[in-house]
Structure 1
Amino acid sequence: MKRNNIVKPTIGVVAATALFAAGLPGAAAAGSGDDFHGAAATKAQYGVIFQLDSGGNAAIKKTLNNIENILHDPRLAKKLKVELIANSHGFDVYVKNNGFEDKLRHLQQQGVILAQCNNTLKELKVSRNDLYPFISIVPSGMGEITIREAEGWAYIHPAAPNPNRL
């Protein structure tokens, strides 16, 4: 008897889930492989702010690669504004002679805004002269993120790669 009580709710949940999925636009396309090519970029303009708050080459490379990837997404061509905000130990990305100058200049030439949190510079006693001269300084990284999100920008905070994961 108890067995029937367990089976009936399970069948009901499965049936409800199937009915729900059947009513979702694109639910079938998402699982059909060849038919789905990603979301359509229907807006006239998109904005995304990337936050880098940790130093080290792995975190920096991952963040810069993520930015390059989004810049080369054909759906977003001529529709995308990108900003990289560095705060905390993320300032390492902008320190002179760190090996990233060419990459940063290339991103800036593609329209990427390169910004550094001034609070970080004060707190960590980093001189503006230690950074590449083409970097913009903003009063606060958190303020910059807050303003951009209020403007409708997406927020991306790539995590540093975990060397213990495959």
Structure 2
Amino acid sequence: MKKTLLLLCCCCILAAHQAISQQKTKYKAVYQLNSDDDKIIRGTLRNIKNALEDPRLQQKITIELVAHGGGVTVFKKDHPYEELLQDLKARGVILVECENTLKERNIKKEELFPFISYTPSGNGELIIRQQEGWSYVHP
């Protein structure tokens, strides 16, 4: 009887520990965007929105979108993505543009939305985030 009670207590403690551990789990994902294709841009933004709405990830995920190369298009003021980006930003998504891309393409920061951040190198940002344990997503 004592062994059964002890086993039952151990099972309850283990189950409680697992439940607490799952509640504390935090996820981090970095999305790469290096295309100026409208379908790819919209698909990437939709993928990010879907991750934010996944009930398993809600309130548990940090997402960063790194744009470089052709992906700079998503942040240009003369393109139709501002509303989608503002929604993602309001939900905590970190929006980052590669400064190397701006130099190579002679793009001024004034041409981009004022609510984005910058990194010296998009590739460098991806490498660093992956080393920090972020999941890498390239739709």
- Superposition TM-score, scaled by structure 2 size: 0.82
Higher helix share: 2
Percent identity between the aligned chains? 46
Instruction: Mark the runs of 5 or more structure 1 residues left unpaired by the alignment.
Output: 1-40, 159-166
d(CA) in 2 for partners of 1:127, 1:89: 15
Q: Counterpart of 1:146? A: 127
The structure with the larger Rg is 1
d(CA) in 2 for partners of 1:91, 1:97: 12
The number of residue pairs the alignment matches comes to 118
Decide which of 10, 25, 28 is 1:44's aligned counterpart: 25
Q: Counterpart of 1:74? A: 55
Q: 1:150 Cα shift?
A: 0.9
Provide, for residues 18-66 of structure 1, a one-character-per-residue CA deviation record: whole Å limited to 9, x for no partner.
xxxxxxxxxxxxxxxxxxxxxxx93621000000001021111000000
Q: 1:78 Cα shift?
A: 1.0
Q: Counterpart of 1:22? A: none
Structure 1 residue ranges (4+ consecutive) displaced by more than 6 angstroms after TM superposition: none
Q: Counterpart of 1:113? A: 94
1:99 is the counterpart of 2:80: yes
Decide which of 51, 59, 73 is 2:40's aligned counterpart: 59
Q: Name the amino acid aligned to 1:140.
A: S
Say which SS state the counterpart of residue 107 (structure 1) adopts: helix
d(CA) in 1 for partners of 2:67, 2:38: 14
Say which SS state the counterpart of residue 68 (structure 1) adopts: helix
Q: Name the amino acid aligned to 2:134.
A: W
Q: 1:77 Cα shift?
A: 1.2
Q: Counterpart of 1:84? A: 65
Higher relative contact order (CA 8 A, sep 6+): 2
d(CA) in 2 for partners of 1:104, 1:97: 14
Q: 1:99 Cα shift?
A: 1.0
Q: 1:124 Cα shift?
A: 1.1
d(CA) in 1 for partners of 2:123, 2:48: 19
Q: CA RMSD in A?
A: 1.2
Decide which of 88, 95, 118 is 1:137's aligned counterpart: 118
Decide which of 104, 109, 130 is 1:123's aligned counterpart: 104
